[in-house]
Amino acid sequence: MESLQYPTGKFTPKGAALTADERAALVTRIRTLSGEARAAVRGLTEAQLDTPYREGGWSPRQIVHHLADSHLNAFIRFKLALTEEVPTVKTYDQERFCTLPDVQGSPVETSLAILDGLHERWSRLLASLTEADFARKLRHPDLGEIDLDFLLQMYGWHGRHHVTQVTELRAREGW
């Protein structure tokens, strides 16, 4: 069950500051996420979009809408950390977000379009940051004080994690 839930493995941050090459690879991963998400759901029927990737898990539709919700929050968290001194960010209930009417039955294209624009802006911002910028911190109610290197790693992992859930569902189902 855990391999279905975490097909790329659980998030494990590097203990030290990232190198410039590691950051560049993660920025590329964020820049390409919207295309990867789009490819993962391309051609799926409405029934397939609503098929959970595992028992008790989200459907591809919910995953795509979740990526938009989550990455919008992440982008704002980066901007807050860059413009305020150790801001405290707000959490949200991602499980409940995925049950709201804007997710249930909504076309995935709406969130894919959000991801296209968001990831274009986010990757441009990330590519402009200095090492000192990536050391800037924020306070997360569940994670404590974290820096932007940590957040970059988390969201570089996050997108790939969810896209892989969809692509592995497709492979298992022969879609």
Closest CA to 167 of 37, 12, 58, 26: 37
What are 78-112's pLDDT values in tens digits?
Answer: 999 999 999 999 999 999 999 999 998 899 999 99
Domain ranges across the chain: 20-173
Average pLDDT on 14-42 reads 95
What is the reported pLDDT for 3?
Answer: 82
Fold of the CATH domain 20-173? Four Helix Bundle (Hemerythrin (Met), subunit A) (1.20.120)
For residue 4, is pLDDT > 90? Answer: no
Q: Are 137 and 81 in contact (CB under 8 A)?
A: yes
Closest CA to 81 of 135, 21, 28: 135
Sheet strands (E) in 94-168: 137-140, 144-147
Residue 105 region, left (φ>0) first, then alpha (ψ -120 to 50), else beta?
A: left
**3-class secondary structure, 107:** coil
What are 115-146's pLDDT values in tens digits?
Answer: 999 999 999 999 999 999 999 999 999 999 99
What is the reported pLDDT for 1?
Answer: 61
Buried b (16+ CB within 10 A) or exposed e, 144-161: eebbbbbbbbbbbbbbbb
